[in-house]
Chains A and B, each alone.
Chain A
């Protein structure tokens, strides 16, 4: 029963622990000077920020790290289907559409980017959401070392390994293919 008491419900006032006024994170709101919960869940405090953590999938927001696969390529933009937002997979069929424009692929020599040498259809890409974009898609950027292609198959059909930030090697044929690779974690 005591555990039940820690679960907050939408609209329930939150009693703030003593000390400096905390910042409000997700799942909380301030109305008429009272902090209230807007989700079902338990309160957690990280640093000076109070939140109700939400394990459920949510739509991308600016600064979210997303994973998606390339579904369409044109000289100007790559269209990706976003399936994971901030590490939480979206339900089947509820993917969001993202667009990587040619000048959002990398941070340097933006004008020399050829999209065909950075992505191919079916590649899985890690990116960061720049903005909400237009009515149809979110704008995504890969202009960071840890962002880019994280999974790709070669023409021979094998999963390739990254060898540099611009190239991947096929383990079957040994051929090099051009990709904008993400720096693997822990390197």
Chain B
């Protein structure tokens, strides 16, 4: 019975149950055989390389695709359009919607079951809303749609989503105070700080923290933290994140430059 109710004719329905393929142990680099407290292939303060391209979705006013390691997010921006069914507002409205593809996680996920996507949308909205000059868009609304194609570390979905949304808004020609970039860090069980954690690394973390900022202006737009940390650890983590953010800002800047000069 449960299977029948979850059947949605409007979607391409996958099989009822699916399981991750079983790899032989040597194929899996970060398998449990190695110590979970030793980071492989990168240093604790290193982030995964970022690929960012804007303007891929031609129907949208602005768009961006971002890939960092195995986390992949697409973002499309529509508007500014006339806000329907709302009272008069002097400022514009920014709507952020996040969706996970059914195949984004290790196990197939039925869409719209948990609040994970909505909480991520709130996080991204809070991170980018201070940067948008909403006072220039009276009575209008802008829609930001994000789709998580692959999720490797929920923190990195949030950071990648924030970067992609800001790049897409810039691509859409929406006036902003500055570009927003975001970086995540987690405090491991031994007290070390690892930036840009993957899903596997998050399993061994005690807490995690996401920081969003506008490096061009030196302003922080949003900090969100989960788990248990001491104040010192939180400050250390924020400093490390902020340092990396200026590197990420360069990536976003060069992606926008590249797209602009290709026009």
On A, residues with C-beta under 8 Å from B are 3-4, 7, 9-12, 26-27, 29, 31, 36, 38-41, 54-59, 91, 94-97, 132, 134-135, 138
Contact = CB atoms under 8 A, between A and B. Distances in A.
A12 B177 CA distance: 9
Given A94-B81, A135-B88, A31 B172 contact: no
Nearest to B80: A59
A29 B178 CA distance: 11
Interface string B74-110: 0000111110001111000000000000000000000
Nearest to A10: B176
A152 to B, nearest CB: 25
A56 to B, nearest CB: 4
Given A9-B257, A10-B216, 11 more contacts: A9-B170, A10-B177, A11-B177, A12-B216, A36-B216, A39-B173, A40-B256, A56-B61, A56-B172, A59-B80, A138-B139
Interface of B: 61, 78-82, 86-89, 131, 133, 137-140, 170-173, 175-179, 214, 216-217, 253, 256-257, 260-261
A166 to B, nearest CB: 32
Contacts of B78: 94
A94 B140 CA distance: 11
Contact of A39 (B87, B175, B214): B175
A96 B84 CA distance: 10
A59 B147 CA distance: 27
A78 B78 CA distance: 28
Nearest to B79: A94
Given A9-B170, A132-B138, A31 B82 contact: no
Contacts of A135: 86-89, 139
> Which residue of A10, A29, A36 has the most chain B CB atoms within 10 A of its CB atom?
A10
Q: Which 10 A-B pairs have the closest CB atoms?
A: A11-B178, A11-B216, A56-B173, A135-B88, A38-B175, A10-B176, A94-B81, A96-B82, A59-B140, A7-B260
24 contacts: A3-B261, A7-B256, A7-B261, A9-B256, A9-B257, A10-B176, A10-B177, A11-B178, A11-B216, A26-B175, A29-B175, A31-B217, A36-B216, A38-B175, A55-B173, A58-B173, A59-B80, A59-B82, A59-B139, A94-B78, A94-B82, A97-B82, A132-B139, A134-B88
